[in-house]
A = this chain, B = another copy of it.
């Protein structure tokens, strides 16, 4: 069940820069897996579009069209993937995007 630790460096140069070894490919793939689901992409975009750049989970459930447990699950995956950070304030959980992480993945796709 996932590693969740040490996901911060996307590790590699562009996919086009040379043949990836199995380990690098595995790590990169798990990064893209986080983006490979419509529910997660929408959640990501909603957090990014939120005022102050952060969104409370409570404001994501209804517009996402998924159940609360499902939303919680996806948000956890996005955090594990390093794309979001989570900050618990009172009884709310606030999420923000990690632009560096997006940039790192973007870099991998450089043609």
The reply on A67 being an interface residue by CB < 8 A is no
How many A residues, CB 8 Å from partner? 39
Q: Is the CB of B45 within 8 A of A22?
A: no
The reply on A110 being an interface residue by CB < 8 A is yes
Q: Is the CB of A19 within 8 A of B46?
A: yes
Which of B49, B100, B106 meets A106, CB within 8 Å? B106
Shortest 6 CB-CB distances between A and B: which pairs? A99-B111, A25-B38, A16-B48, A106-B109, A36-B36, A32-B35
Inter-chain pairs besides A16-B102, A17-B49, A22-B42, 10 sampled, C-beta below 8 Å:
A16-B48, A17-B45, A19-B45, A20-B41, A22-B38, A25-B41, A25-B42, A25-B45, A99-B111, A106-B111
